[in-house]
Structure formats: C-alpha cells, structure tokens
C-alpha cells in the first residue's frame, strides 16, 4: 500500500553532524559495500573502469562553500545526502504499484524490488535526490537505513547500526529513534539545534542535520587571557622549568651547532 | 527534467486520441448513428489506435514492463495508478460505443448514453495524466494551476483537428467542426501563453541556502560535486534546455498553433486543409510537450549548483 500508515511512535533515522564531517567518503563507500550484497543487491555500476563511470549509490557526499558576512575566507562544509525517511513522503504516495512503502512500525521508507516496475515517478517526487534508478536491474534503489543490519540478530549487538554510521571515522553520523525525546539522537538534535532540509516542502524529514559550530580560527578566536602566577611553590617550579627549557644551553638553535668541521676519522 | 521520447509520444498521441474519442462520443450523443460505417470505423480505429500506441510506448519505458499490471493497484494515493485505471476502464464504453455508433450492432438507444460515458471517461483519463505532473511539488513549472487545463485543451484541440481532417476525407466535413477546432486551437494558444507567463513569474523560493540549511551562516555555493561523472539524479532531473533555445521553441509552438488555426480557416474554403491543420496541431503538441519537460527545473538541482528553484 502506498497510502501512508498512521504516524508511528518510533521514527528511526540519522543525525548528521556537519561540524565534524570531513568529507572522506567512508560512509558512502561502506554504504555501497554493504548494500551491494544486502537488501538492495545488486547495486549496479556501468562502465566502472571507463572514462565515464556511473552507478547506483545510496549516499552522496557534497561539498559546499559558505561565505560569511565580513569574512575574507569562506568555509567548506562537507554535506552527506541520503534518504531522510520523511514523515510525509510523496515518493511513497505517488508510487502506482505499492512497491514504495513506509513501514508502520518504525517509519523506514523502502522499495520492494519484487514489485517495482521502474516507472521512476518516485524519484521525481523526492526533493532530496535520494532515489537512484538501477538501469541494469530495472528497479529503484534507495537508502534502507540498513534495515538488514539494525535488526540483524546474526550480527553482534554493537554492529546493529547502519554501515555508514559504523564507518564514519569522525563520528559524524548518529543513528537512533527520533520519535523518542529521551534518545541520544533526540538529545543531540535539541542540544545542537538540529534542523530539516527544505522544511518548506512539507515532507517532514526524520533525519536531521547538525549545523557547523561557529567558526574558530586565527581571525575569530579571542586570545584567552593567561592565568597570572600566584607565587606558589608550583608556580616557581614552572617558571624555573620554563627558563631552563627555553635556554640555549639545553636545546641549542641549529645555527649554534658547529658544522664547519670535517668528519672525524 | 529529461524529456523521454516515450513519455512525449505517449502524452501527445494518447492526448489526441482521447480528444478525438471524446468528440466522437459527443457526435454520437448529438446525432445518433454514424452516417457511414466506414467513417465511424476509421474514426474509432484512429482514436483507439493513438491511445493504444501511447499506452504501449509508456509501458515500454518501464524497467519491468511485464509487471505493468501492478500499476493499477494504488489508485487511492497515486495519480499514475489512477491514470492506468481510467485508461483501462475507458476501453469498455469506447469499444461498446464504437460498435453501436457505427451500426455494427443495432442498438440506437444505447448510442447517446454510451457516447456521453465515453466522452467523460476520455476526459477523466487526460485529467489524471495532467495531475501526475501538476501534483509534483518538487517541480515548480508543473505544480501550476494551468498544467491540467493545458493538457485537456491540447488533447481536445488536436483531437478536433483530427476529426475535421478525417471528415474531409470522407466528404463529411462540416463548418461546425472547423469552428470548434478554431475555438479549441485559440484556447490552447492563449492557455499556453498564459502558462509560460505563469511559470516565468512564479516565485523561485527554494534556494541552495534552504536546501542545505546553511543560510544562517552565509551565502552558499557549490564547492565539490560528490561524483566524477553524472549520476542518475543529474541525468533525469538535471536536464535543462538553454533559456535562449526555450524562447525560440516557445515561439515555434505558438507559430505552429497559429498556422494550424490558419489552415483550419482555409478548410472552410477547401475542406482538405483540415488534414494540414491536424498535422500542424500535432507537431505543435509534440514540441510543446518536449518543452514542458525540458524547461521544468527540479528542486534537487539545488544540491548540484542551482541557486534557486
Ligand atoms: S528523502 Fe526522498 S526518498 Fe527519502 S523518504 Fe523523503 S522523499 Fe522519500
Ligand atoms: S519506480 Fe518503482 S518504487 Fe518508484 S514509483 Fe515506480 S513502481 Fe514505485
Ligand atoms: S543507512 Fe545504510 S543504506 Fe542508508 S546511507 Fe547509511 S549505509 Fe547507506
């Protein structure tokens, strides 16, 4: 059924931290690796070693440049983009076959590859470009929220996380229940001001993005006042050590070393 | 949006077919049995032929044509499914109407009701086709009030020109047919002109800033694309015809429609001009449909460098 189920209490999704994402593509690569053999298999590529390789990926990492008012240099923000498992997903309601559906129990949006006719209408209805058509397979592919990992009892408990979340080296991707206000992801969203993409479209994405923290660099960071010495024994010890270590006698400058001499022997 | 030839062929061929079918239904409602079996059969054959070619071409563009029947199941939520259902249902009254209207089956009392039902179902089907596009919030140029009226009027105008053309071949051309076609072509011309003004003036209120949510920091620009060559999203949704070419093609559509109008006027003197008018109207519809796709910008382009959508 492509009519939407009543809103579920459980809203599984991702929270993506734009402050810490370094754009390394690890999540995209491990997403491709897991899904090319999991629920979405095959995840076809065409002309993979040619000059114009294309293929189906469920996660894409963009790079944006943000120019701040009054700043000489712009900021680079790495920006992962995958299905946001929207609460009001028109990608589901436009599907003529019922292949696209939103799960009543946890809100995950999936495509049934057995019934999809490959009409591509759902990809037109998605504002976020989250659906990619698999030309060789003739069906639509999308992020499954790694439904075949998160409930997979053959995996160790700590591995029941989406592949992209596990792979991220900076911990920029978080997985959890955004319907539960006390979950870690909900707390993170509340703390850091997590937001929706294109909120005016009314799709109500479940996934949230955490904004980059305010800029701190040589131009913007305030010089922090150094603590004044209070004359204690510890202070005197540090002052003595500081003098000793800054002195030439301990570590000479390169120019002090006599390198004019011949080699001995 | 990528202008897929199968979809352009489908919407223009079936649009003209349904337009013709609707008018035949009304002719039957008004006049009862057709004056010649051959004329009725040729008309019905062309109408249903165009519809069937269109439907088949739209099916072949699917990834899994053998599963096409599944598309009839989700009419509760999906306009594409509703279109499929309407298209299939329309065959029933249309075939029945063809049989009684042509006189192959002698049931004169059924002609009027079957004619009306056929005409209504034909228009309902074109309406559902238009709604597939008009209901997509992601494409500003389609999500407009005039999208559906343009589909309906162009279908009727091309169908009406076809009817006049076929009638001229069977020496059944009537002034009324020419007047109706002229009125419909004029309506198509005006509506299409208004549609273009509408999409040019519609606010482009989605921005790269709202797409990325980074607008609170500053102005956003694209720095690096996620992949080295175009992916499906860019090929399907990123297609854009250059503004300069779009302008030229818009004028071309208007000129073709105006020429069809003139040919229709000329048909009042020599009825065979109606055939030329039909050809010109169909050509206008094909170019119009190509532009309808090629000019439409999808909101996802914001992630790939478009400033607003
Ligand atoms: S991001 Fe796109 S594909 Fe995913 S649920 Fe939302 S509309 Fe559907
Ligand atoms: S491509 Fe498949 S999943 Fe998408 S709308 Fe068509 S049938 Fe449904
Ligand atoms: S949740 Fe799974 S399918 Fe979705 S982007 Fe992450 S790895 Fe890919």
pLDDT in tens, A105-139: 999 999 999 999 999 999 999 999 999 999 999 99
Domain assignment present for B309: no
Whether residue B223 and residue A76 make contact (CB cut-off 8 A), yes or no, is yes
In SS3 terms, B21-76 reads as HHHHHHHHHHHCCCCCHHHHHHHHHHHHHHHHHHHHHHHHCCCCHHHHHHHHCCCC
Atom index in ligand 3 nearest the CA of residue A144 equals: 3
To test the pocket of ligand 2, the residue of A3, A114, A121, A125 to mutate (highest count of ligand atoms within 8 Å of its CB) is A121
CA nearest ligand 3 atom 2, residue: A146
Supply the angle between the helices B37-60 and B147-169 in degrees, to the nearest 10. Answer: 140
Pick the CATH number of A12-210 from 3.40.50.1580, 3.30.110.70, 3.30.70.20, 3.40.50.740: 3.30.70.20
Domain assignment present for B185: yes
Tell me the sheet residues that pair with B275: none
Could you tell me the pLDDT band of residue B75, with boundaries at 50, 70 and 90?
A: very high
Closest-approaching ligand to the CA atom of A144: 3
Give the residue-averaged pLDDT of A248-262: 49
Q: Provide the percentage of residues in chain B whose pLDDT is more than 70.
A: 100
For residues A71 and B73, the model is more confident at B73
Residue B62 and residue A119 in contact, taking contact as beta carbons nearer than 8 Å: yes
CATH of the domain at B88: 1.20.1630.10
Closest-approaching ligand to the CA atom of A145: 3
Least-confidence region, from A30-44, A240-254, B153-167, B261-275: A240-254
Least-confidence region, from A240-254, B45-59, B258-272: A240-254
Domain assignment present for B287: yes
Could you tell me the pLDDT band of residue A147, with boundaries at 50, 70 and 90?
A: very high
Q: Is A225 a residue whose pLDDT tops 70?
A: no
Could you tell me the pLDDT band of residue A216, with boundaries at 50, 70 and 90?
A: confident
Distance between CA atoms of A204 and B39, rounded to whole angstroms? 56
Residues of B in contact with A74 (CB under 8 A): 218, 221
Residue A162 and residue A150 in contact, taking contact as beta carbons nearer than 8 Å: yes
DSSP labels for A173-236? EEEEETT-TTSHHHHHHHHHT-B-SSGGG----S-EEEPPPPP-STTTSPPPPPPPP---HHHH
Could you tell me the pLDDT band of residue A262, with boundaries at 50, 70 and 90?
A: very low
Range of the domain at B30: 5-215+226-304
DSSP labels for B251-262? HHHHHHHHHHHH
pLDDT at A223: 60
For residues A19 and A217, the model is more confident at A19
Helix (H) or strand (E) holding B186: helix B175-201
Q: With CA atoms as reference, report the closest residue to A197 among A9, A10, A16, A11.
A: A16
3-state secondary structure at position A125: helix
Q: Is A257 a residue whose pLDDT tops 50?
A: no
Q: Is B48 a residue whose pLDDT tops 70?
A: yes
From residue B58, give the alpha-carbon distance in Å to each of A50, B79, B292. Answer: 31, 15, 17
Give the residue-averaged pLDDT of B53-82: 95
Residues of A in contact with B223 (CB under 8 A): 63-65, 76
Could you tell me the pLDDT band of residue B203, with boundaries at 50, 70 and 90?
A: very high
Chain A contact for B203 (CB, 8 A cutoff): no
Whether residue A66 and residue B218 make contact (CB cut-off 8 A), yes or no, is yes
pLDDT at A236: 85
pLDDT at A249: 55
Per-residue pLDDT reduced to its tens digit, B80-89: 999 999 999 9
Residue A65 and residue A74 in contact, taking contact as beta carbons nearer than 8 Å: yes
How do the domains of chain A map onto residue ranges?
Answer: 12-210, 227-265
pLDDT at B67: 97
Could you tell me the pLDDT band of residue A3, with boundaries at 50, 70 and 90?
A: confident
Binding site membership of A84 for ligand 1 (Cβ less than 6 Å): yes
Whether residue A201 and residue B299 make contact (CB cut-off 8 A), yes or no, is yes
Interface of A with B in 8-67 (CB under 8 A): 18, 23, 28, 52-57, 60-67
Per-residue pLDDT reduced to its tens digit, B210-264: 999 999 999 999 999 999 999 999 999 999 888 889 999 999 999 999 999 999 9
Q: Is A263 a residue whose pLDDT tops 50?
A: no
Nearest residue in chain B measured CA to CA from A63: B224
Least-confidence region, from A14-23, A59-68, A213-222: A213-222
Alpha helix ranges (H) inside A113-179: 121-125, 147-150, 163-167
Interface of B with A in 284-303 (CB under 8 A): 298-300, 302-303
Nearest CB to B137; choose among A56, A139, A201: A201
Per-residue pLDDT reduced to its tens digit, A17-44: 999 999 999 999 999 999 999 899 999 9
Q: Residue B242, class by beta-carbon neighbours within 10 Å (0-12 exposed, 13-18 middle, 19+ buried)?
A: exposed
Distance between CA atoms of B8 and B290, rounded to whole angstroms? 6
Closest-approaching ligand to the CA atom of A168: 3
Distance between CA atoms of A101 and B195, rounded to whole angstroms? 34
DSSP 8-class letter at A169 = T
Q: Is B146 a residue whose pLDDT tops 70?
A: yes
Chain A contact for B129 (CB, 8 A cutoff): no
Domain assignment present for B220: no
Whether residue A3 and residue B205 make contact (CB cut-off 8 A), yes or no, is no
Could you tell me the pLDDT band of residue A264, with boundaries at 50, 70 and 90?
A: very low
Chain B contact for A5 (CB, 8 A cutoff): no
pLDDT at A176: 98
pLDDT at A120: 97
Per-residue pLDDT reduced to its tens digit, B109-124: 999 999 999 999 999 9
Q: Is A227 a residue whose pLDDT tops 70?
A: no
Closest-approaching ligand to the CA atom of A90: 1
pLDDT at A246: 77
Least-confidence region, from A1-10, A147-156, A245-254, B219-228: A245-254
Domain assignment present for B127: yes
Domain assignment present for B148: yes
Span from the CA of A113 to the centroid of ligand 2 (angstroms): 9
DSSP 8-class letter at B287 = H
For residues B128 and A231, the model is more confident at B128
Whether residue A129 and residue B218 make contact (CB cut-off 8 A), yes or no, is no
Residue B25 and residue B163 in contact, taking contact as beta carbons nearer than 8 Å: no
Residue B55 and residue B14 in contact, taking contact as beta carbons nearer than 8 Å: yes
To test the pocket of ligand 1, the residue of A60, A128, A129, A196 to mutate (highest count of ligand atoms within 8 Å of its CB) is A128
Sheet holding A173-177, edge to edge: A173-177, A12-17, A208-210
Atom index in ligand 3 nearest the CA of residue A165 equals: 6
Could you tell me the pLDDT band of residue B283, with boundaries at 50, 70 and 90?
A: very high
CA nearest ligand 1 atom 2, residue: A126
Distance between CA atoms of B198 and B208, rounded to whole angstroms? 23
pLDDT at B290: 96
Q: How many domains does chain B have?
A: 1
Residue A15 and residue A145 in contact, taking contact as beta carbons nearer than 8 Å: no
pLDDT at A261: 45
Q: What contacts A121, CB < 8 A, 6 or more positions away?
A: A94, A95, A96, B78, B80, B132
Whether residue A200 and residue B206 make contact (CB cut-off 8 A), yes or no, is yes
Residue with tokens 């690096």: B224
Q: With CA atoms as reference, report the closest residue to A183 among A15, A19, A21, A27.
A: A15
């Amino acid at each position: 059924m492509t009519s939407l189920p009543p809103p579920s209490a459980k809203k599984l999704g991702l929270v993506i931290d734009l402050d810490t994402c370094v754009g390394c593509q690890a999540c995209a690569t491990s997403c491709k690796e897991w899904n090319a053999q999991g629920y979405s298999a095959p995840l076809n590529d065409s002309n993979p070693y040619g000059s114009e390789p294309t293929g189906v990926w469920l996660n894409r990492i963009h790079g944006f440049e943000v120019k701040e008012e009054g700043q000489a240099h712009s900021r680079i923000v790495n920006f992962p983009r995958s299905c946001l498992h929207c609460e009001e997903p028109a990608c589901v309601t436009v599907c003529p076959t019922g292949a696209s559906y939103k799960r009543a129990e946890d809100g995950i949006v999936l495509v049934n590859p057995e019934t999809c006719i490959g009409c591509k209408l759902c990809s037109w209805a998605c504002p976020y470009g989250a659906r990619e058509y698999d030309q060789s397979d003739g069906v639509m592919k999308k992020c499954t929220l790694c439904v075949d990992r998160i409930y997979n009892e053959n995996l160790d408990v700590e591995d029941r996380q989406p592949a992209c979340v596990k792979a991220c080296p900076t911990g920029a991707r978080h997985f959890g229940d955004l319907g539960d206000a006390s979950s870690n992801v909900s707390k993170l969203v509340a703390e850091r001001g997590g937001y929706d993409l294109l909120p005016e479209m009314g799709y109500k994405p479940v996934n949230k993005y955490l904004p980059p923290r305010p800029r701190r660099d040589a131009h913007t960071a305030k010089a922090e006042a150094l603590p004044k010495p209070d004359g204690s024994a510890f202070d005197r010890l540090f002052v003595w050590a500081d003098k000793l270590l800054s002195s030439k006698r301990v570590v000479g400058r390169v120019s002090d070393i006599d390198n004019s001499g011949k080699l001995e022997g | 949006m990528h202008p897929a030839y199968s979809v352009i062929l489908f919407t223009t061929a079936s649009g003209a077919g349904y337009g013709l079918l609707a008018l035949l239904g009304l002719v039957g409602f008004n006049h009862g049995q057709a004056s010649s079996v051959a004329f009725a059969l040729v008309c019905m054959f062309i109408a249903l032929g165009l519809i069937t070619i269109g439907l088949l071409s739209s099916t072949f563009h699917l990834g899994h044509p053998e599963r096409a029947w599944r598309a009839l199941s989700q009419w509760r939520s999906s306009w594409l499914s509703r279109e499929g259902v309407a298209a299939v249902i329309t065959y029933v009254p249309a075939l029945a109407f063809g049989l009684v209207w042509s006189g192959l089956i002698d049931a004169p009392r059924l002609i009027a009701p079957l004619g009306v039902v056929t005409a209504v179902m034909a228009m309902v089907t074109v309406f559902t086709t238009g709604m597939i596009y008009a209901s997509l919030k992601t494409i500003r140029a389609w999500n407009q009030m005039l999208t559906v009226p343009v589909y309906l009027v162009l279908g009727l105008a091309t169908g009406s020109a076809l009817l006049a053309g076929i009638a001229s071949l069977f020496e059944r051309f009537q002034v009324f047919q020419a007047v109706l076609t002229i009125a419909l072509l004029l309506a198509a011309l005006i509506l299409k002109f208004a549609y273009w003004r509408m999409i040019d003036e519609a606010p482009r209120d989605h921005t790269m800033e709202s797409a990325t949510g980074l607008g609170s920091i500053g102005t956003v620009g694209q720095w690096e694309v996620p992949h080295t060559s175009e992916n499906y999203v860019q090929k399907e949704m990123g297609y854009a015809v250059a503004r300069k070419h779009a302008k030229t093609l818009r004028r071309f559509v208007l000129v073709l429609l105006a020429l069809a109008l003139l040919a229709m006027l000329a048909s009042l003197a020599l009825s065979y001009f109606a055939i030329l008018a039909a050809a010109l109207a169909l050509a206008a519809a094909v170019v119009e449909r190509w532009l309808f796709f090629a000019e439409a910008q999808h909101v996802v382009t914001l992630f790939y460098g478009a400033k607003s959508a």
